[in-house]
Each structure stands twice: as C-alpha cells, then as structure tokens.
Amino acid sequence: MQNIEFSDIEITGGHWKKRQEINSSSTLACIYERFKETHRFDALKCEWKEGDPNKPHIFWDSDIAKWIEGASYILNSKYDEEIVKIIEDAVDCIIKNSDENGYYNSYFLAADRRNRFKYRGYHELYCAGHLIEAAVAYYEITGKDRFLKAMCKYADYIENVFKKEKSAAFITPGHPEIELALMKLYRATGEKRYADLAKYFIDEHGRHSEEIEYLEWANEKQNQDEMPIKDRKTAEGHCVRALYLMCGASDVAAEYRDDELKKACERVFDNIVNKRMYITGGVGSTNICEAFTIDYDLPNRTAYAETCAAISLAMFAGRMLKFGADSKYSDIIEKVIYNGAMSGVSLDGKSFFYENPLEIDPDFNNVNTSTKKKERFPITQRVEVFGCSCCPPNILRFVASIAGFLYSFDEETVYIHQYMDSKCKKDGINIVQKTEYPNDGKVTVKCDTDKKVIAFRIPGWCKSFSVNRDYTIKNGYAYIALNRNDEIEIEFDMPVRFIAANRRVHADSGRAAIMRGPVVYCAEGVDNGADIKSVLVDTNSHFDIQESEFFLPVLKTKAYRPMENESLYYEANDDYEEIPLTLIPFYAFANRKETEMQIWLLRKH
C-alpha cells in the first residue's frame, strides 16, 4: 500500500485549514525567534569556545533540523523568500563546518571535538537523523539538493564508522531516530545502502546490552536495549525513543518484507494502544525518564504524555498502514491529532506544552510550603520555549504535513483514512473531500481515478453511519465500488459519548470521559468553578453542542456537585447542587488562565 504524501494534498477548509494557517503565520516565526534568541542558530557556526557564553547543547541541531523540516513543508503551499534565506544560511553553516568526511554536529565540533561517537547517550545519531529528515524535506519541496548531498556524505560516514569499521564506542544509538531518517534518505535518493544501514541499526538494537555502560539514571529499557526488536511484546523505556525506533522498524519491515519484524511491530503497537495509552493518545505515564511504565498504569495528574510521544505514536501508526488498511491504526492517528498532539500548542500557535496531563489541580500543585523540596507536577501553562525544546518544532512539522495521513492506495483501491476538507492529486488520483469533520460527521468525496474501489475508514468511535452506496466492511473500512467521478456521501453519527476505562486503570475508576467524534472533552475551572473532581455527570444527560472560539464546539449540560459543607468529614448524604457544566475540547485547555482541568468526570451511577 502506498501513501499519498502531504505535498500532493491541499487542505482547503475546516479545522485543519485554521490550524495550518496559525502554524504558518504564527508558530513558524515564533519558534524561529525563540531559537534565535537562545543561540540555537548561532551554534550552527561551530564557533563556540570554552569560556564563551551560550554553550551549544547536544540536541540543538535536532531542534533546528525539525524547524527546517517544518518550514520546508510550509514552503510547499507558499514559497517565502525569507524562509528560504534562513534555511540557506543554516545550510551554509552546516556545509561549511562539516568535516571532510561529512560529519556534522555543532556540539561536538565546537565543544567536544575529541569525543565524537563516544557517548551513546549524547544524541549524536539522533541529531544526524533529524538533519537528514530536514535535508530530505527541503530537497523534496524546493528541489535544492546541496543540503541533501551533504547529508548523504554524512550518512556515508556513519555507515563507515558504525557498520563497516565499527569504530564508534557504541553500536546502536541511545536515542533512535537515525533509522527512520535513513529510510527517508533511501526513498529520496534511491540509494539502497541507506536502507541497509537503517536495517543494520534496527537488527542490532537490543543485541548488545551486556557491552553497554548506562548512565546513572537509565537502564537497558531506557536505551531500547532490553531485547532485539523482533522479540518484543511490550513498549518499554523512553516513549519517544521507543516510538521513533518502531517507526524505523516498521519502515524496514515493509521494505525488506520482514514478517517477523512486522509482527513485533504489531505486538508493540497493540500493547501500547490496548494497555499503555491515555484516552488522548498520549503515552508516557511518568516524568521519570519520560517512559512507559506497566500495563494500565495511567495516572492523570502526573501523566507525562509528551507532545513528541503522541506525535511519534501517530507516525508509527501511519507506517503500520503500509501493511494494509486497518482502522486500528488510522483510529489512533485520529485520536492523536485531535487530542494528545494538538494539546501541545496554544490556540494562537505561540506557546507549547511538553507534558500533557489529563488533570490539573493548580491549588494543590505547590503544596509543600514547609520545605524547599516540592512534589513534582507538570506545568499548568504553556510556555514559548523549553530548554529541551523538541516538542515545538515537532508540532510545526506535524501540522504542516498533517495531510500525509489522509490517503493511500494500492492497485485496486483508494483508501481514505482521515477526514479533512481537502484536494488531492497524485498519479491519476484526484480526490476532492468536502467536510466540516469533526465539527459534524458529514463527508462528501468526489474521486476521479481508474481505481475500482474506494475504502472509507469507519471510525472506531462511530456506532452508526449512512452512505449513499452499497458497501462491505473489512478491518474497519467500508469498501465501495467506484465509478469515474463518483461523488460519495457518508455521514457518521456523532453523538456525545461517555467512555469508561478498564477497571485496572485505577486513576479513572468510577469516572467517565466525554467524547464527541474523535475529540476528547475536558472541564476547566474557569467555566465550572472549583473542585471539578467532585462533580458527577449523568450518562443520560442531554448535551447542547455550541459553536466556540476553540475551532470545534463546546458541550453544555448539567451536572451535580456535593453541596458545600464546612466539615472535613461528614455523614455521606445526597445533598447535591445541580450545576451547569461546560466542556471544551481537551486540546484547548489552559488557553485562558491557570485553572483546574479534568477529563475523567465522576459518573452518577
């Protein structure tokens, strides 16, 4: 199955048109300014010397690279001389300062020349991977190839050091990313050796844990060394590392038709989405090493659920679709893009969350006033830049290329995985999709192609739908015979739903999350007053669906809160006050002020 890339698709309306406009007009410039201010762009010059201020950081190259990648994607829809100039200047620095052998890393070239490829935990191959992704993106959008060539040379050097000479101090990277990047480089250049190198890294992961010295705080799981990928049944360790690695693994499995590796990818995916994922599509239950923990351990208030982890889960799911259309993958993409990823950016596109908890309780977040130590909780307001700023440019590239999740095709069939108002033109496939989804569930698709079948994902959340054609269902897709220039209307009923969590998820016990379509809702204190944890919702409630400033509707209903009582403890009674309850899309939380936030509301049983 072949994916249709975002560059062949134009988002023409609806939620994502708004999001992309903000991304281009606001997020792009905002991140650029912050990276300039924090000397990330300066670092590319490799001029830093001991004693200078603003020492470059080991992962700054990856921040810049993701920004270039996102900026390139944005250039696809609108050429911008200024942006090209910024990228060209950065590329100048990179090429000028690259070693003769192709090596480039602004941290090691300036601050630690002697220790190249010595520290597995120092993100060198991770940075290289992001630079490669950036070079591929810039080349594919603009046709300019000198950055790509420089990165090919760097990749050749990496092949030499790691695969041929084996002269590096480690075998596989502490932070995967190079694997999926090499697969992109292979597809951009046609050079099979890059795929082979990706396959080499994928195969070697987890085969050398006994040779490895770990940092004080990490162990083999953290570094994706607990076992060979082919043997895995669960997702372990640092979430983004695990998921970038699985992206590379699924790419390699598809390219080399490695069924054993593919099955491992399926097992790990299933483990995540069936046992270790928040309802938002967020993953990572603890800030300690930003890691997966164990099945059903999903605390809400201390959820880490890094923005990058949600994005990389969608990336992984998108790659799994190459093995065939199955809505279990495309449903998770949808879950992520409307919830756990987009909560990472403010509605104005200018500020960001690294962590995306499902519950915020600001009054109780800074409680230990009797000591200098504090309990740790996620921050409650988005900020413009982090020291570790992987998430903002990840959002940038993710939103700019979101259309890449829409379509794929094989010999006979065109697949519609996601619903966005858009136009697509690729290899004789013309698709015009008109929809306000997920504002409502109506989608009209006009498809002009010589393929014989079109397949629509029936979202997992959807209990009933109507379509103006006959269809058969397979793996969550409705398959419909297609005639040239057919216009198909499909409508997914989109009532408000109450969702329960498995009873093993102790943090959610007695509670329900409220969803409409793919969108998870939350209640904020600014709308609903204090102590939302004590508010009960009735699953038989009627909801008013009202337009809002949050790109998608808000939900209004009534709920019940225990009457105020002066006592700390009192005989349990049935004294509840009825209160109006306003729910907003989860991604829109914390856009007004610091306030309570709660996804999982008590159920009136």
- The residue among 453 and 499 lying less far from its own copies, judged by its C-beta, is 499
At residue 228, φ and ψ (nearest 5 deg) are -55, 145
Scan for tokens 């070697």, then name that residue: 204
Handedness of CA 21, 24, 30, 34 (dihedral sign): positive
CB of 285 to its own copies, least distance (A): 7
- The residue among 13 and 121 lying less far from its own copies, judged by its C-beta, is 121
**Chosen residue from 123, 275, 319, 457 binding its own copies by CB under 8 A:** 275
CB of 594 to its own copies, least distance (A): 16
CB of 573 to its own copies, least distance (A): 7
**Distance of alpha carbon 119 from alpha carbon 373, whole angstroms:** 32
**Distance of alpha carbon 485 from alpha carbon 590, whole angstroms:** 45
Taking CB under 8 A as the binding criterion, the range among 87-95, 320-328, 436-444, 570-578 that sits at the site for its own copies is 570-578
CB of 193 to its own copies, least distance (A): 33
Q: Taking a C-beta distance cutoff of 8 angstroms, is the pair 524, 596 a contact?
A: yes
Task: Establish if 388 lies at the interface with its own copies (CB under 8 A).
Answer: no
Structure tokens, 312:
């990389």
At residue 134, φ and ψ (nearest 5 deg) are -65, -45
**Chosen residue from 21, 375, 412, 544 binding its own copies by CB under 8 A:** 375
Q: Taking a C-beta distance cutoff of 8 angstroms, is the pair 442, 404 a contact?
A: no
* Contact track, its own copies, 227-246, x by CB under 8 A: ---------xxx--------
- The residue among 87 and 601 lying less far from its own copies, judged by its C-beta, is 601
Task: Establish if 569 lies at the interface with its own copies (CB under 8 A).
Answer: yes
Task: Establish if 358 lies at the interface with its own copies (CB under 8 A).
Answer: no
Scan for tokens 């630690």, then name that residue: 112
With CA atoms as reference, report the closest residue to 83 among 73, 93, 96, 98.
Answer: 73
Task: Establish if 370 lies at the interface with its own copies (CB under 8 A).
Answer: yes
At residue 494, φ and ψ (nearest 5 deg) are -130, 60
The edge-to-edge listing of strands for the beta sheet with 472-474 is 2-3, 407-409, 413-416, 453-457, 477-481, 472-474
CB of 96 to its own copies, least distance (A): 40
**Chosen residue from 76, 98, 285, 401 binding its own copies by CB under 8 A:** 285
Structure tokens, 371:
């000591």
Which residues are bridge partners to 448 per DSSP?
430
> CA distances (Å), 174 to each of 119, 169, 233, 597, in order?
9, 12, 20, 35
Binding to its own copies in span 288-347, by CB under 8 A: 288-289, 291-294, 296-297
Taking CB under 8 A as the binding criterion, the range among 50-58, 200-208, 394-402, 510-518 that sits at the site for its own copies is 510-518
Task: Establish if 369 lies at the interface with its own copies (CB under 8 A).
Answer: yes
Q: Which of 140, 290, 491, 524 is catalytic?
A: 290
Structure tokens, 601:
């509301």
Task: Establish if 504 lies at the interface with its own copies (CB under 8 A).
Answer: yes
At residue 445, φ and ψ (nearest 5 deg) are -120, 125
Residue 290 designated active-site: yes
- The residue among 296 and 386 lying less far from its own copies, judged by its C-beta, is 296
Q: Give the count of beta carbons closer than 10 Å to the beta carbon of residue 399.
A: 26
Task: Establish if 498 lies at the interface with its own copies (CB under 8 A).
Answer: yes
Binding to its own copies in span 113-172, by CB under 8 A: none
- The residue among 428 and 510 lying less far from its own copies, judged by its C-beta, is 510
Angle at 261 between CA 257 and CA 263, to 5 degrees: 100
Task: Establish if 572 lies at the interface with its own copies (CB under 8 A).
Answer: yes
* Contact track, its own copies, 535-564, x by CB under 8 A: -x--x---------------------xx-x
Task: Establish if 283 lies at the interface with its own copies (CB under 8 A).
Answer: no
Taking CB under 8 A as the binding criterion, the range among 100-108, 309-317, 326-334, 596-604 that sits at the site for its own copies is 596-604
- Which residues have CB under 8 Å from 390's CB, separation 6+? 59, 62, 63, 66, 240, 308, 354
Binding to its own copies in span 82-101, by CB under 8 A: none
Longest Cα separation, the chain: 78
Q: How many residues bind its own copies (CB under 8 A)?
A: 74
**Chosen residue from 534, 544, 549, 593 binding its own copies by CB under 8 A:** 534
Angle of helix 124-142 versus helix 60-77 axis, rounded to 10: 20
Say which amino acid occupies 97.
Answer: N
- The residue among 346 and 528 lying less far from its own copies, judged by its C-beta, is 528
- The residue among 164 and 463 lying less far from its own copies, judged by its C-beta, is 463
With CA atoms as reference, report the closest residue to 56 among 126, 110, 113, 121.
Answer: 110
Task: Establish if 513 lies at the interface with its own copies (CB under 8 A).
Answer: yes
**Chosen residue from 467, 499, 545, 579 binding its own copies by CB under 8 A:** 499
Taking CB under 8 A as the binding criterion, the range among 109-117, 178-186, 440-448, 509-517 that sits at the site for its own copies is 509-517
Task: Establish if 271 lies at the interface with its own copies (CB under 8 A).
Answer: no
- The residue among 107 and 304 lying less far from its own copies, judged by its C-beta, is 304
Task: Establish if 506 lies at the interface with its own copies (CB under 8 A).
Answer: yes
Task: Establish if 430 lies at the interface with its own copies (CB under 8 A).
Answer: no
CB of 597 to its own copies, least distance (A): 12
CB burial of residue 365 (10 Å; 0-12, 13-18, 19+): middle
Task: Establish if 364 lies at the interface with its own copies (CB under 8 A).
Answer: yes
**Distance of alpha carbon 224 from alpha carbon 356, whole angstroms:** 23
Structure tokens, 396:
């940038």
The edge-to-edge listing of strands for the beta sheet with 465-467 is 9-11, 422-426, 429-435, 442-448, 486-492, 465-467
- The residue among 498 and 550 lying less far from its own copies, judged by its C-beta, is 498
Taking CB under 8 A as the binding criterion, the range among 169-177, 201-209, 270-278, 307-315 that sits at the site for its own copies is 270-278
**Distance of alpha carbon 473 from alpha carbon 143, whole angstroms:** 41
Q: Which of 390, 391, 462, 522 is catalytic?
A: 390
- The residue among 68 and 496 lying less far from its own copies, judged by its C-beta, is 496
* Chain center to CA of 436: 23
**Distance of alpha carbon 136 from alpha carbon 154, whole angstroms:** 13
Catalytic amino acids? 290, 390
